[in-house]
Amino acid sequence: MDMEITVKQADKVTLVITCGFIDGKTAPAFQTKMLEVLCEADIVLLDLSQVSFMSSAGLRAMLVTHQQTQQGQSKTVALAALPDGIRDNMEATGFLPFFQVFDTVEAGFQGLG
């Protein structure tokens, strides 16, 4: 299964909706898109509700994205609607505390807006 990314702008927050697999095949494209979005946006909310699988390559891409937000200007990447499996993986690998996490996209908009 492939991956699709849709970007929507809502006030201060840029919503990135990702669908499908983030794995060894798609992680580079995910990474490129995230960096592109982060060039323009300061606050990014990543909707992961439609991601059915995230491999270690996906986790590494998330980590590198996080690193980018720490360099230079202050940027925020928050996560919304994490499927349980992905939340567990991110927790086990110690990545979860790097991001603000919201249960739903709506909660994300409220928290970041």
Partner 1 sequence: MNKINFEFSDTISGYVSSFDRGSDIFTLKTSDDREYAVKFSSSTDAWIANNLNEPRQKCGEQMRDMLEAGRHIFVYGIFYPETNGYAIEAQYLVFSGARLDEYLFEKQDWWVKQIHAIADFYLKAQFGDGPVDYKNYRTIITLDGKKQQDNYKQETDTISRLVYGFASAYMLTGDERFLEGAEKGTEYLREHMRFVDMDEGVTYWYHGIDVQGKRETKILASGFYDDFDTIPAYEQIYALAGPVQTYRVTGDPRILEDARQTVELFDRFFLDKEKGGYFSHLDPITLDPRSASLGANRAKKNWNSVGDHAPAYLINLYLATGDHRYGRMLEYTFDTIVKYFPDYDNSPFVQEKFHEDWSHDTTYMWQQNRGVVGHNLKIAWNLMRMFGELPKKEYEEFARKIAEVMPKVGCDLQRGGWYDVMERKLREGETCHRMGFHDRKAWWQQEQGILAYLILHGVLGDEEYLRIARESSAFYNAFFPDHEGGAVYFNVLANGIPYLMGNERLKGSHSMSGYHSCELAYLAQVCTNLLITKKPLTLHFKPLPGVLPNNLLRVAPDILPAGTVRISQVWVDDKQYKHFNADRLTVSLNNISERVTVKVQIEPTGGK
Distances from the Cα of 18 to the Cαs of 5, 69, 70, 106, in angstroms?
5, 19, 22, 16
Question: Strand (E) positions, 11-113?
Answer: 13-22, 43-54, 76-80, 100-102
Tokens of 66: 């996080």
Q: Which stretch binds partner 1 (CB under 8 A): 9-17, 37-45, 72-80, 93-101?
A: 93-101
SS3 assignment, position 11: coil
Residue 100 touches partner 1, criterion: CB under 8 A: no
32 versus 110: smaller Cβ distance to partner 1: 32
9 versus 93: smaller Cβ distance to partner 1: 93
Residue 113 touches partner 1, criterion: CB under 8 A: no
Are the C-beta atoms of residues 79 and 102 closer than 8 Å to each other?
yes
Residue 52 touches partner 1, criterion: CB under 8 A: no
Work out how close the CB of 105 gets to partner 1 at its nearest, in angstroms, rounded to a whole number: 25
Residue 87 touches partner 1, criterion: CB under 8 A: no
Specify the amino acid at residue 53.
F
Task: Give contact residues for partner 1 (rule: CB under 8 A).
Answer: 24, 27-28, 31, 55-57, 60-61, 63-64, 66-67, 70, 93-95, 97-98
